Amino acid sequence: MTTLTAATRTKVLQRQGSAVALVLVVAVSWLVFPRFGSLDNLRDLALQGSFLAVIALGMTFVIITGGIDLSVGSVYALGGVLAAWGSQYGFLVALALPLVVCAGIGLVNGLLIARTNMAPFIVTLASLLFARGLLLAITDEGATTYQIPPDSAFVELGRGTVFGFGYPIFVAAALCLLGGVVLNRTSSGQNVFATGGAEQSAILMGVPVARTKIGVYTASGTLAGLAGALTAAYLQSGVTVIGVGTELDAIAVVVIGGTLLTGGTGMVLGTVIGVGLIKVIQNVINQIGTLDSNYQSVVSGVFLLVVVVLQRVLRR
Amino acid sequence: MPTDPVIEVAGVTKTFAGVRALDDVDFTLEKGEIHALVGENGAGKSTLIKVLTGIHTPDAGRVERHGRISTIYQEVNLVPLMSVAANLFLGREPRTRLGLIDRARRDADAAALLGGYGITADVRSPLGTLAVGEQQMVALARAVQAEADVVIMDEPTSSLEPREVETLLGVVAKLHEAGIAVIYVSHRMDELYRICDRVTVLRDGKRVHTGSLAELPRIELVSLMLGRSVTEIRKHGTTAFGEDHHADTEPVLEARDLTSTPRINGVTVSIRPGEVVGLAGLLGSGRTETAKAIIGALPLDRGTVLVAGKPVPRNVKAATRAGISMLAEDRKTEGIIPNLSVRENIVLAALPKLSRFGVTSRAKQDRIVDTFVKRLRIKVSSPEQKVSELSGGNQQKVLLARWLCTEPKILLLDEPTRGIDVGAKAEVQALIDELAREGLAVLLISSELDELLDGADRLVVLRDGAVAGELEGARLTREHVLAAIAAEVMDDADSH
């Protein structure tokens, strides 16, 4: 049995570390870039972050169980295309179709991982390819872009606002709140921690480990599909080229948020902060203007590395 | 005799990969009794427990349970990253009216419950920050709190200190008073005879005896477990160490003034070729740290290690080159590489010697492995068998072989017989004896006093990281060792 020295202190530092970083980055950006603090920019920032937050929420659960879900980027894109295609049959189909299909992909991921003990990396890599392939097949290799009728109620879901803040922001906020409550205040959440913390022990303690795994992968797929639907509603079309590498963004923000890749510990709030950090940095790079937008990735990468190194150092 | 069984098992058979783990086993647990389940490792105890708890489904036979079963395992089966309170109540958390977990109540309940077991640690801190003994008590509290009719304890005391063992046995007594039946698995005869009413002995998957424990002399119990006759055991004793070794040459190892505050403080040990020196002391007295300091794995404030009179640089590589090898306490995390074969595990440490320009000679490997498998009597189907498939005792022999094939002059053994069954224990002990007779200097660390007293020619007793006494010859007795260890307790009493 491993003895964790100063684990509590580390946890606090991890939690506060990313929050402190976010505050610093926001403060500096506010001072340096006059446009950063404008309400319009903040609204845009929150909206851009909300799609990633929904995906990363599912990823948080998956990673806490000690797993990984590489399929979410493709599933996200597939969800968007399905929503756009379904919108011709009305609001309900536009929303339900991507959710059902993507939940199905997540369910299959979960079943394969939990019941056959295959590595999550492999299973979800396969479904990444599957979802991307399916997407290309139904869009004639990406040539067909399904448009959502501008007058459709579904568009409202992506473009509607309250005080100028888009609906997706509220959807993401509500889901993250719900996710936090489920994770920390329900037995399902305890099962998620137990599964990732010590799987064999969890089994012996009567934790339904298989059911928990199936649950988190299904949730992850569903959330990725929902994020896709929201994105499609916002863009008014099912864009086929989105979501490439999004799974890695999601993993990055979860890790930046203090969730350990080895599982067993993590928090939704951290993930939200992680999303904030990445999006603020991207936003700032856009503001600089002269900097190639590809530097967004460069900065995100450096940032992730710093966080992981810090986690290591703090664990000593 | 009127019976009121809570568990009834009849004719249970269970086979794993062609090996019969349980063979037509009958077992009855009466309401409120404490039933000892004994047998060597591999006798089928764990499998029987898993059949009782429903984790395994038997291939044949009948299992009837008339009550709820709760189990405590040998290794703490809790989640180290989760809080103590979360572990305690996992799966049965107190709820608020909204159906959410009531954390405040959970933590308060947990603190109150653990207080009864003498644990005062913060219940909100991760379980992994507690000492192993405390973790085991949490596991116990969890099992008992489950309002079970049957509590199964699988070697619950193997990682506990004497004081904690007393607490645990006290809890068992309380369970007994409450009419809860207990199945108690242990290798420790003292505990068994103190608390158990009846005993069932398993050997090679078969039930060989069930009956009252008080009516069964200890030596007969051992003979039932081992399948050896009583006279044979009388003759050789329960440990397999032979006569003392003669060693009047110069010490091959001299460790002087080893200090690494706060864990060890000025420890001096010397070993002559062919001598077995035992390190005695309570958990945390600095035994493992001393061994680690000798092999260079513990940063030192001061102190020197000399091999054959020459100082050894303070790192593991240099120490190994100088002829020191160490068998670590925790086989699983510090030694065995489970997915590699027996051959690969054995030659690992000797690879540099077996290689030329980075290419290893397979023929040489096979020769060495063959020699050691025979010499240490390692039971394998082939050298290519995965180490994880071997029993604990055989894994320990593989590790021993790994270090022996580096041809060490000094062997540091940290709890070499922990967690392996009685038969394998005897074999490992006999091996240590043999190695010393061949001229190896051995440092033996063990929590079992009998093993130290029988196995060592000289004992160094540690207390609080310092040498509390050195015992040799006629003074090599239980009383002298305990007196040396106990001085601390008296000091403690004085200082308060």
CA B135 – CA B126 distance, rounded (Å): 11
Residue-wise pLDDT tens digits, A195-230: 998 898 888 888 899 999 999 999 999 999 999 999
Contacts for B325 with CB less than 8 Å, ≥ 6 apart: B295, B349, B403, B404, B406, B408, B410, B411, B412
Q: Is A1–B128 a contact, with Cβ atoms under 8 angstroms apart?
A: yes
Residue-level pLDDT at B346: 85
Across the strands, what pairs with B356? B359
**CA B71 to CA B12: how far, in whole Å?**
20
Tokens of A236: 């008014």
> What would the mean pLDDT of A104-132 be, rounded to a whole number?
95
What pLDDT sits at residue A101? 97
- What is the average per-residue pLDDT within B436-452? 86
Q: Does the pLDDT at position A67 exceed 90?
A: yes
Q: What is the pLDDT of residues B261-282, one digit of tens each?
A: 778 888 999 999 888 999 988 7
Model confidence, pTM: 0.70
Q: pLDDT band at residue A80, thresholds of 50, 70 and 90?
A: very high
Judged by CB atoms closer than 8 Å, whether chains meet at B81 and A7 is answered as yes
Q: Identify which of B38-42, B212-216, B461-465 has the greatest average pLDDT.
A: B212-216
Query: What domains does chain B contain, in order, with CATH numbers?
Result: 5-236 (3.40.50.300), 253-495 (3.40.50.300)
Closest Cβ–Cβ partner in A190, A204, A207 for B93: A190
- Please name the residue ranges forming H helices in B301-361: 316-321, 331-334, 342-347, 351-354
Distance CA A286, CA A282 (A): 6
pLDDT at A4 over 60: no
> Taking Cα atoms as reference points, which of A233, A267, A209 lies closest to residue A59?
A267
Q: Quick one: pLDDT at residue B42?
A: 67
pLDDT digits (tens, 9 = 90+) for B161-170: 777 788 888 8
Predicted confidence (pLDDT) per residue in B110-168, tens digit: 999 888 777 788 999 999 888 777 888 888 888 877 778 898 988 887 767 777 788 88
Q: What single-letter DSSP state applies at residue B245? A: P
Residues of B in contact with A265 (CB under 8 A): 81
A177 in contact with B at a CB cutoff of 8 Å?
no
Contact A76, A228 (CB under 8 A): yes
pLDDT tens profile A27-36: 988 888 888 8
Tokens of A29: 């950006």
pLDDT confidence of A305, banded at 50, 70, 90?
A: confident
B61: closest CA of chain A, how far (Å) = 23
Cβ of A264 within 8 Å of Cβ of B78? The answer is no
What's the confidence (pLDDT) of residue B229?
65
Please answer yes or no on whether B125 and A8 come within 8 Å at the CB atom.
Answer: yes
**Spatial contact of B330 and B399, defined as CB atoms under 8 Å apart:** no
Q: Is the pLDDT of residue B236 over 90?
A: no
Q: Rounded mean pLDDT of B432-446?
A: 88
**pLDDT tens digits along B384-411:** 888 888 877 788 888 888 888 888 899 9
Q: Does A265 touch chain B (CB under 8 A)?
A: yes
Q: Is the pLDDT of residue A127 over 90?
A: yes
pLDDT at residue A17, as a whole number: 72
Q: What is the pLDDT of residues A8-31, one digit of tens each?
A: 555 555 556 778 888 888 898 888
A1–B135: do the CB atoms touch at under 8 Å?
yes
Chain B residue numbers touching A6 (CB-CB < 8 A): 129
Whether B226 has a pLDDT exceeding 90, the answer reads no
Write the CA distances from A218 to A178, A191, A198, B250, integer angstroms: 16, 15, 21, 69
Q: Which chain B residues are closer than 8 Å to A196 by Cβ? A: 81
Q: Do B80 and A4 touch (CB under 8 A)?
A: yes
State whether residue A3 sits within 8 Å of chain B by CB.
yes
Sketch the domain layout of chain A as residue ranges.
39-272
A262 reaches B (C-beta below 8 A): no
Which of B354, B334, B332, B443 minimizes the C-alpha distance to B407? B354
Q: What is the ipTM of this complex?
A: 0.81
Q: Taking 90 as the threshold, does the pLDDT of residue A51 lie above it?
A: yes
- Contact A267/B at CB under 8 A: no
Omega into B273 within 30° of 0, i.e. cis? no
What pLDDT is attached to residue B230?
63
Answer yes or no: is pLDDT of B494 > 50: no
For chain B, the residues whose C-beta falls within 8 A of a C-beta of chain A are 55, 71, 73, 75-82, 86, 90-91, 93, 99-101, 103, 125-126, 128-132, 135, 142
> Are A185 and B101 within 8 A, CB to CB?
yes
B274 neighbors B245 (Cβ within 8 angstroms)? yes
Nearest CA to A81 out of A228, A265, A295 is that of A228
Task: Give the least confident one: A78-82, A89-93, B180-184, B228-232.
Answer: B228-232
Cβ within 8 Å, pair B81-A193: yes
In this predicted structure, what is the pLDDT of residue B28? 92
Which residue in B46, B53, B81 has the most chain A C-beta atoms within 10 A of its own C-beta, making it the best mutation to test that interface? B81
β-pairing verdict for B324-327 and B410-414: parallel
Lookup: tokens for B118: 């003498």
Q: What is the mean pLDDT of residues B459-480?
A: 84
A8 CB neighbours in chain B (<8 A) are 125-126, 129
Pair of tokens at residue B407? 């041809």
Chains A & B: contacts with CB separation below 8 Å: 87
Give the pairing of strands B466-472 and B410-414.
unpaired
Q: How far is B76 from chain A (nearest CA, A)?
A: 7
pLDDT surpassing 80 at residue B228: no
Identify the helix (H) or strand (E) that includes residue B326. strand B324-327
B317 has a pLDDT exceeding 50: yes
Q: d(Cα B290, Cα B279) in Å, to the nearest integer?
A: 9
The residue of chain A nearest to residue B92, with distances taken between CA atoms, is A187
Q: Which long-range contacts (CB under 8 A, 24 or more apart) does A29-38 make?
A: A29/A280, A29/A283, A29/A284, A29/A287, A33/A284, A33/A287, A35/A287, A36/A283, A36/A284, A36/A287
**Strand, helix or coil for residue A44:** helix
Beta bridge partners, B5, equal B30
Q: Are A270 and A14 in contact (CB under 8 A)?
A: yes
Q: Judge: B132–A3 Cβ closer than 8 Å, yes or no.
A: yes
How far is the alpha carbon of A50 from chain B, nearest alpha carbon, in Å?
A: 26
Chain B contact set for A197 (CB, 8 A):
79-82
Give the pLDDT confidence score for residue A309 in this predicted structure: 79
Those residues whose C-beta lies under 8 Å from the C-beta of residue A146, and which sit 6 or more positions away, are: A81, A84, A85, A87, A88, A139, A237, A238
Question: Is the pLDDT score of A1 beyond 60?
Answer: no
Cβ-count burial A182-202 (b if 16+ within 10 Å, e if not): bbbbbbebbbbbbbbbbbebb
Residue of chain B minimizing CA distance to A5: B129
Q: How confident is the model at residue B340 (pLDDT cuts 50, 70, 90)?
A: confident
> What distance lies between CA B19 and its chain's CA centroid?
25
* Percent above pLDDT 90 for chain A: 55
Q: Per-residue pLDDT tens for B343-377?
A: 888 888 777 777 777 777 788 888 888 888 887 77
pLDDT digits (tens, 9 = 90+) for A222-275: 999 999 999 999 999 988 889 998 999 999 999 888 888 889 989 999 999 999
Q: Residue A308: its pLDDT value, please?
A: 72
Q: For residue A304, how many C-alpha atoms fall within 13 Å in the half-sphere facing its CB?
A: 20
Closest-CA residue to B194 (of B202, B203, B184): B184
Query: Across the interface, which of A7, A187, A264 has its CB nearest the CB of B79?
Result: A264
CB atoms within 10 A of CB A2: 11
Is A206–B73 a contact, with Cβ atoms under 8 angstroms apart? no
Using the structure block, give the residue that is written with the tokens 């710093």: A306
Which pLDDT belongs to residue B449?
78
Q: How confident is the model at residue B489 (pLDDT cuts 50, 70, 90)?
A: very low
* Residue B73 pLDDT > 90: no
Contact B36, B186 (CB under 8 A): yes
- Are the C-beta atoms of residues B349 and B405 closer than 8 Å to each other? yes
Q: What is the pLDDT of residue B171?
A: 83
Contact A190 B75 (CB under 8 A): no
Query: What is residue B239's predicted lDDT score, i.e. its pLDDT?
Result: 59
φ, ψ at B72 (rounded to 5°): -115, 125
Confidence label for B488 from pLDDT (cuts 50, 70 and 90): very low
H helical segments located in chain A = 7-32, 39-64, 72-86, 91-116, 120-138, 153-159, 167-185, 187-197, 199-204, 209-235, 246-256, 268-288, 295-315
pLDDT of res. B149: 86
Average pLDDT value for chain B: 82
- Of residues B328 and B422, more confidence is placed in B328
pLDDT > 90: percent of chain B: 21
- Of B93-107, B347-361, B421-435, B462-476, which one has max mean pLDDT? B93-107
Let me know: does B460 contact B432? Beta carbons within 8 Å.
no
What are the pLDDT digits (tens) for A135-193? 999 998 878 888 988 888 898 888 988 888 999 999 999 999 999 999 999 999 999 99
pLDDT of residue B102 exceeding 80? yes
- The chain A residue lying nearest B124, using CA atoms, is A8
What's chain A's average pLDDT?
A: 88
